[in-house]
Structures are given as structure tokens and as C-alpha cells.
Amino acid sequence: MAERVVVVGAQWGDEGKGKVIDILSEKADYVVRYQGGNNAGHTVVVGEDELILHLIPSGILHKGKVCVIGNGVVIDPEALKAEITYLESKGIKINNNLRISDCAHLIFPYHKVLDKLREEKFSRTKIGTTGRGIGPCYTDKFSRNGIRIADLLNKRVFREKLEANIEEKNAIFRKVYKYKTFSFKKIFRQYSDFAEEIKPYVCNCSLLLNQAIKEGKKILFEGAQGTLLDIDHGTYPFVTSSNSTAGGACVGTGIGPNKIDKTIGIVKAYTTRVGEGPFPTEFSEKLMNKIRSIGKEFGATTGRPRRCGWFDAVIVRHAVCINGLDTIVVTKLDVLDMMPSLKICVGYSYKGKLYDNFPSDIEVLWKAKPVYEELPGWQQSTKGIKEFSALPKNAHVYLKRLEQLVGAKIEIVSIGSERTQTLFV
Ligand code: GDP
Ligand code: IMO
Ligand code: MG
């Protein structure tokens, strides 16, 4: 493993980052989340057990790794506590294997309610969020009235900031949403208790990681969501509220860009997305139901059915560019095993114009017709295959074509959710 590696989703999330991070974690010393919050759902299958992580880096499943929640992450204390309890119930001890940046922002109950009310009441551009308060928390961060872990640990500062926030939010709830208000006392008490519980984990993330870099430690940066959900480079406004792309790893942890050695993009062999927004290669109903059922395409966080479609080389090429991807990992190839033929989108056509680069104009994304190439399927099971070279010929042809179209080499192919179902190229 290169010294410092960033792993990102190269589509709309749920590409199988959890599985790949789990495998790569074995060789890492540190595993670090740098953005997003418990909107993420990263699945790791260990034998009979399926574990889903939302906030804590997936490296936690390996002994002896330091897992860090960076400053770019937003933390819901309730979700963090529930995740610690969940992991402990699975026999994973949380102690000095977890560190939390003192600059990470906190999600408050009013963020979660605002998230839901905005979607319900002013739903002209309903985004289909996870309802975890992510957007409103980042809104407060960028409008400079957010509350960070360091504030929480200073009772006087915390009291002042929370009072100001609750006063403003309650006025909005009353006047705009005709919704009940929040009690300062109750939240202050709850969060002060939380402060005591997390104190042992709190760190200066930038210092910790820069020291680790000096010592030559191996660091894995675990991206959440996917490139097309990035606030700047995704299908705005149908995105999440953070930089889920590789650049986010630097600002979300406090290390310099020259400290990153490699970026890896995780790509599903087809495409999925949860929530609203344009999806040019989305299947029609019959194929949608088929792939959703074979691929078990239901959200790991909200349980919502995922929308499914053909592989879209336009968006993955965009991801290769935005993240500077050195290599890609193709997951869920096995889901396509029995397909007689496979389509790959190589461009979009709209009003007589051909787009082979990702268009920023949301109207083009909504209305464009995908231009497809069609390749024959392999129509045999790949699930038990042990070597990359043993994949069926047409699977090789499909993967080779994906490489050519997106402009990055495939490093790993995944043919099942288990650790053993992983083929190194
Ligand atoms: P993440 O958010 O990117 O970590 O992905 P999710 O965990 O939300 O969704 C990926 C799903 O696909 C999980 O249920 C994984 O167990 C599963 N998975 C990962 N790789 C493969 C694969 O190669 N084949 C199959 N069939 N399932 C996979
Ligand atoms: P992982 O890390 C898939 C989607 C939501 C919604 C949009 C905004 O498991 O890949 P938010 O709650 O973030 O404000 O919702 O982003 N979304 C995800 N989709 N996987 C995720 O995470 C996602 N996290 C957010 O469905 O469309
Ligand atoms: Mg997921």
C-alpha cells in the first residue's frame, strides 16, 4: 500500500467503499473519515456478520488501527453513541483506537428537524436527503455559527453559542415552519453529558496525522458519499453538503495536498443512486426491479430502494478527473453475471449536441438521452472465482472497455460482498 491513500466513491455513493476500505485497512495504521456524517452507510461483511458503519471509519473492525473522525465530519452525538454501543455489542472495543477532531462540527436536534421540514414544506427541489441534519449543520458551519467539539468542551463558550443558536432557530421554527420550539436547558444538559463521554477521544487531528506522516505511518482516507454527490462537483443541487471528492481529505483533516500519494475510486459495475436528482442511465421498471433484487440495492442508512441504471462512463470519467484517480476498483460485477448483454453510456445527446464530458447544466442532465455502446454478457456465475485471469472472457472485455472509457486502470474487481470475493488485478 502507498503511504497515504484516499478512497472515494466515483458515482452517487454506495459503490462498496466499506468493503474495499475494510480490505485495504489491513495494511494501514490509520483510517480517517474527512467529510459527511451519519448519512453514510458503509457495509462490511465478515463471515456471517454484516456490519454497517455510519460515522466511525470502517478500519475499526481491524485490531490495532487508529480510526480518526476528521474536522470535516459533522457529528451527531446520539448517532456516535449508538454506533459505539453497536460495535461493542459485536465485540469491538472502542478506546484509544478512536480519535475525534476538536474542530468537527456538531449536529443538534434542530438540524435534524430543519432537514425534514425543508424537504416537506419547501419541496420545489426536494433532494431526498437522509434526514440526518447534514445540510443544516453544514449551513451553520459555513454561516459561522456552528458549534464545534472544542466549543462543547468549554462550558462558557458552549452556553453562549447554544443560546444564540436556539434563539435564532426557535424564531425560524415559530415563524417560518409553525413548528414547536426547542428547550435550551434540555439540549445543554444532554450535550454537556456527551462532552464528558467523548473527552477521552478528542484530539487535534491535523497534529496527530502530521506526526503520523513524519513517522512514515500508512494512512487511509475513507471518503463517504460519492463524487456526483459532492457539493461543488456533483449534480447540484441534488448533492450532499460536503466535499466528498479527494480534495476534501486535505481540508477535512488538516494535511497538505503534497502528503497524498494515491487516490482510488470505487465504481460499481453499473450505477445506482438514492434520493432525487437526474440519473441519465436509469433503468426502466422491469430491469430496475431485476437488478435491485439481485444486487440487494436498498440503502444501508435509510433502507430506501436504490435507483439503478447502466454504467455511465461520462460520470466516472468526470470522477477520474476531479479526484485525480490513479486507479479504480470495480465492485458488484457478479450482479451482472446473467445479463445477456450490457450497455455502457459513452456520452449524452441533447438538442442535437453530443456531450462526452459531464455537463454542469442541470437541464441537460435531466433531459439528455444517453448514447450507448452494447457489449455481450458472460451469462455464468463469477462468485466463486479466485483469480482475476479466471473471469469469463466477456467479463474481461467489459472491464477493459470500462478502463478505456474512464481513463483509469482497474486495480481490484469485487465479485461478492465477502472479503474472499476480491480479485487483485
Ligand atoms: P458504501 O456506502 O460505498 O460503503 O456501499 P454500501 O455498503 O452502502 O453498499 C454496497 C453494498 O454492496 C453492500 O451491501 C455490500 O455488502 C455489497 N457489496 C460490496 N461489494 C460487492 C460485490 O462485489 N458484489 C455484491 N453482490 N455485493 C457487494
Ligand atoms: P455512502 O457513504 C448514497 C444522498 C441522499 C440524498 C443526498 C443528500 O453510504 O455512499 P444528505 O442527507 O447527505 O443531505 O442527502 O445525498 N446520500 C447518499 N446516497 N450513499 C450515501 O453515503 C449518501 N449520503 C447521502 O440520498 O440524495
Ligand atoms: Mg452506503
| Residue 261 is among the residues annotated as catalytic for this protein | no
Q: Taking 70 as the threshold, does the pLDDT of residue 140 lie above it? A: yes
Provide the 3-class DSSP secondary structure of residue 375. strand
CA-nearest residue, atom 28 of ligand 1? 417
| Residue 111 is among the residues annotated as catalytic for this protein | no
What whole-number distance in Å separates Cα of residue 194 and Cα of residue 191?
A: 5
CB 54 within 8 A of CB 40: yes
Expressed in angstroms and rounded, the spacing between residue 274 Cα and the centre of ligand 2 is 7
Q: Which atom of ligand 1 is nearest to the CA of 331?
A: 23
Virtual torsion, Cα 404, 229, 206, 95, nearest 10 deg = -100
Q: Hey, what domains does the chain have and what are their CATH numbers?
A: 4-101+203-263 (3.40.440.10), 105-197 (1.10.300.10), 267-424 (3.90.170.10)
Q: Taking 70 as the threshold, does the pLDDT of residue 4 lie above it? A: yes
In short, whether 223's Cβ falls inside 6 Å of ligand 2 is no
Q: What is the pLDDT of residues 260-288, one digit of tens each?
A: 999 999 999 999 999 999 999 999 999 99
Provide the whole-model pTM.
Answer: 0.97
Among all ligands shown, which has an atom nearest to the Cα of 383? 1
Catalytic one among 22, 29, 42, 334?
42
In short, whether 423's Cβ falls inside 6 Å of ligand 2 is no
Q: Taking 70 as the threshold, does the pLDDT of residue 292 lie above it? A: yes
pLDDT at residue 125, rounded to an integer: 83
Task: Decide: residue 23, CB within 10 A, 0-12 exposed, 13-18 middle, 19+ buried.
Answer: middle
DSSP-assigned letter for residue 3: S
- In order, the DSSP letters of 187-227 are HHHHHHHHHHHHGGGEE-HHHHHHHHHHTT--EEEE--S-G
Q: What is the pLDDT of residues 30-75, one digit of tens each?
A: 999 999 999 999 999 999 999 999 999 999 999 999 999 999 999 9
pLDDT at residue 181, rounded to an integer: 96
Pocket test for ligand 2, best of 76, 129, 268 (most atoms within 8 A of CB): 129
- In order, the DSSP letters of 42-95 are EEEEETTEEEEESSS-GGGGSTT-EEEE-TTBEE-HHHHHHHHHHHHHTT---S
Share of the chain above pLDDT 70, in %: 100
Rounded to 5°, angle at Cα 282 from 240 and 264: 55
What whole-number distance in Å separates Cα of residue 135 and Cα of residue 157?
A: 24
Among all ligands shown, which has an atom nearest to the Cα of 297? 1
What whole-number distance in Å separates Cα of residue 183 and Cα of residue 110?
A: 10
pLDDT at residue 123, rounded to an integer: 64
What whole-number distance in Å separates Cα of residue 47 and Cα of residue 45?
A: 6
What whole-number distance in Å separates Cα of residue 37 and Cα of residue 56?
A: 9
Pocket test for ligand 1, best of 7, 15, 22, 43 (most atoms within 8 A of CB): 43
Q: What is the pLDDT of residues 206-245, one digit of tens each?
A: 999 999 999 999 999 999 999 999 999 999 999 999 999 9
